[in-house]
Structure 1
Amino acid sequence: MVTVLALSAALAYGVADFLGGAVTRRTTALRVLTWCVPVGLGIVLAAALLGGGGPAPGPLAWGFAAGLAGGTGLITFYRALARGPMNVVAPVSALAAAVLPVGAGIARGERPDVSVAVGVLLCLVAIGLVSMEPGGGAEPGAAAAGRRLTDSGPVMAGISGSCFGVFFVLLKAAGDGTGLWPIVAARVGNLAVIAVALLVLAFRGGGLGPRLSGWTLIGLALLSGTLDAGANVLYFLAAHGGMLSLAAVLTSLYPAITVLLARIAYTERLRAVQQVGMAVAVAGVALVTVG
């Protein structure tokens, strides 16, 4: 059941990222997030009310902290894309997001069977392979003197992936005795991060970019937020139904879904390394399922 839930979360995350990326081509990531996150909050709030359980201070605090980490990771990830080539940024971020929960799971005493452990290892390799994109070169002025290491693409990608990994770990720590209320708190944390980003942008005199116009784009943005919220719920259920390491790694296979959708929608060819990654992912999931 954990495998089904985690892979369903990966599917939902992958489709949400694809739709969000498609809308972002017409505007900016922050403007898209101002649509996606609020609708996601409404979805998880309705699910929490229908699912039973009651809010408790401890789990809500864990969930809110997870939301802060996840929101920070998302914004940092987009900044990393502006600082380094996609073929470096995406694998580093995805792998960091998966490896940290594995370490946390092992520290918690999780000891998967040999076949499951090998499957998890293969999935980690697959995450890096399917995330790789053709290098786009460094951004203008990237070689300018005085560039700080902490502002480089790979470093920021590692930070964003670590934030996503913390998100996974903290949702596990929130416990499962209060229904889906920790997810509600996590979405509130996402909103808090976006609100801070908007305030910083306003202070600097910047703009949000082109407005979303047309029901199609708005609908895609809302659908992206809905799927992302659903993925949060599915991961939460997976993490509390079994091992953190297994749930987080399988969920982190979402780049494979995004890559496949791009192949279908934009007729983008899968590069050889991505094809290998897909095959490795299938093998990894098979071993995990058998185990």
Structure 2
Amino acid sequence: MTGALLALGSALCYGIADVAGGLLSRRADFRTVAFLGQAGGLVCAVVAALLLPVRESPWHGIAWGFPSGVGTGIAMVFLYRGISRGTMSVVVPVSAVGGVALPVLVGVILLGDRPSLMAWTGIAVVLPALWLVSRSRSDERDRARPAIANGLVASAGIGVQYLALAQAGDEAGLWPVAAGRVAAVLTIAPMVVRSRPPRFPEARTTVYALVTGAVAATALALYLLATARQLVVIAVVLSSLYPVVPVLWGVTALRERLSAGQVAGLVAAGAAVLLLTLPPP
């Protein structure tokens, strides 16, 4: 149960970070927001890594942290790009579909994860639930197509992020998360430099972006700790429920209307959480 709660905490933090980063990307250049976010996450992760004891040499975990960070960098740029040009309640759920599918397939086929029947049922419910949530209303589909394209690219990055970080283990403390933030900063930096000229936001937006990155780094730290206490497959699925937060925010604060299918998807996502967190009979 502890691992499940950590994974759900990761989903909550990631959902909050996506809402905040998405809103900031509508006020400033999305590449710059992504870069500042990862810089803020780097500071947060290093401080946390220094406070958490390391049980053995961190180099194995750090090595896995770097590809995870490359995935993060790609995911955040395209996620914020999609939100800045489309509907938040469409882009974010689409980004989660590949983020769930890739680690689940690898976890079962290559890593030997064997979820219980109840957990398998929850996993089976999550993918169609996220697909339903990502479906836009018929009158918004033309606008949604670019958002879906960006969300799909982001989903590949998120899948790599989760899969690589799960291999790091928690023996190295949170240094894999810190290493990932270094890789994410280096991945995004060339995109910022290529924008002509590079546009940096006002001071308040910069601070918000840094804090958003710290929240996202917290999400990854919670996910890393969850993978040590839970099957990777289940930790990934629970952590990937983060789209519920931006969808609810889009509906309540941004007045984005949900279709019947999206409502059904949210209900199914809630059922999946119960199936994945309740102990098997």
Amino acid in the other structure paired with 2:242: Y
Distance of 1:3 and 1:97 partners within structure 2: 17
- CA-atom RMSD in angstroms: 2.7
Distance of 2:147 and 2:266 partners within structure 1: 25
Q: 1:100 to 1:15 in 2, by over 3 A?
A: same
**Residue 25 of structure 2 contacts residue 83 of structure 2 at CA under 8 Å; is this kept in 1?**
no
Distance of 2:255 and 2:94 partners within structure 1: 25
Q: Which residue does 1:224 correspond to in 2?
A: 212
**Residue 65 of structure 2 contacts residue 178 of structure 2 at CA under 8 Å; is this kept in 1?**
yes
Amino acid in the other structure paired with 2:8: L
Distance of 1:35 and 1:76 partners within structure 2: 15
Q: Which residue does 2:52 correspond to in 1?
A: 51
Q: Secondary structure at the match of 1:268?
A: coil
Amino acid in the other structure paired with 1:69: G
- Give the superposition deviation at 1:133: 3.7
Distance of 2:255 and 2:86 partners within structure 1: 25
Amino acid in the other structure paired with 2:214: T
Q: 2:265 aligns with which of 277, 286, 289?
A: 277
Counting only pairs closer than 5 Å after superposition, residues 68-83 of structure 1 correspond to structure 2 as 68-78=70-80
Structure 2 residue runs of 5 or longer lacking an equivalent are none
Q: Which residue does 1:177 correspond to in 2?
A: 171
**Residue 80 of structure 1 contacts residue 157 of structure 1 at CA under 8 Å; is this kept in 2?**
yes
Tell me whether 1:213 sits opposite 2:207 in the alignment: no
Structure 1 residue runs of 5 or longer lacking an equivalent are 143-151
After TM superposition, the structure 1 stretch with the greater mean CA deviation from structure 2, 183-192 or 237-246, is 237-246
Q: 1:133 to 1:219 in 2, by over 3 A?
A: farther
Distance of 1:265 and 1:85 partners within structure 2: 13
In our comparison, the structure showing a higher alpha carbon Rg is 1
Could you give the per-residue CA deviations for residues 72-103 of structure 1, whole angstroms, max 9, x where no partner exists? Answer: 22224455678998887655432111000101
**Residue 127 of structure 1 contacts residue 277 of structure 1 at CA under 8 Å; is this kept in 2?**
yes
Q: 1:133 to 1:208 in 2, by over 3 A?
A: farther
**Residue 86 of structure 1 contacts residue 133 of structure 1 at CA under 8 Å; is this kept in 2?**
no
Amino acid in the other structure paired with 1:36: G
Distance of 2:186 and 2:180 partners within structure 1: 10
Could you give the per-residue CA deviations for residues 145-173 of structure 1, whole angstroms, max 9, x where no partner exists? Answer: xxxxxxx8766643431221111110011
Q: Which residue does 1:109 correspond to in 2?
A: 112
